[in-house]
Amino acid sequence: MSIEQKMAELALSFPSIRGLIEQEVLQGIDPWSITVLRRNLEEMPFELGRGVTQAIKFVLWVWHGGNDFNLYVAWSYWDEEHRAAWLDWAKEPWWA
């Protein structure tokens, strides 16, 4: 599996990200394209909710690190499904 496929799979494990894709609001996840994703986030016509914002920050942190992802903050906003997605990754963590 390519790193782009792994990134798409990781992102899709978060239900709020899947929801934005299903609503055709978010692009750049599957297929993975950091350029498309960043442009899409910059041009987002509305503010994203805190849970999905933290999920996206986490995915971007796995991709290249260096952003302001904070697990303590994310955990406080995530529901059980989001926490489970992170825990699945944390069992065998990897970075791009």
Query: Structurally, how many domains does the chain consist of?
Result: 1
Q: What is the pLDDT of residue 26?
A: 94
Q: Do 7 and 16 contact (CB within 8 A), yes or no?
A: no
Evaluate if residue 45 carries a pLDDT over 90. Answer: no
59 belongs to a structural domain: yes
45 belongs to a structural domain: yes
31 belongs to a structural domain: yes
40 belongs to a structural domain: yes
Q: What is the pLDDT of residue 44?
A: 87
96 belongs to a structural domain: no
**pTM beyond 0.75, yes or no:** yes
Residue 67 vs residues 55, 56, 58, 60, 96: alpha-carbon distances, Å: 12, 11, 9, 8, 14
Evaluate if residue 71 carries a pLDDT over 90. Answer: yes
For 56, the domain range is 3-91
33 belongs to a structural domain: yes
Tell me how far apart the alpha carbons of residues 52 and 57 are, in angstroms, rounded to a whole number.
8
50 belongs to a structural domain: yes
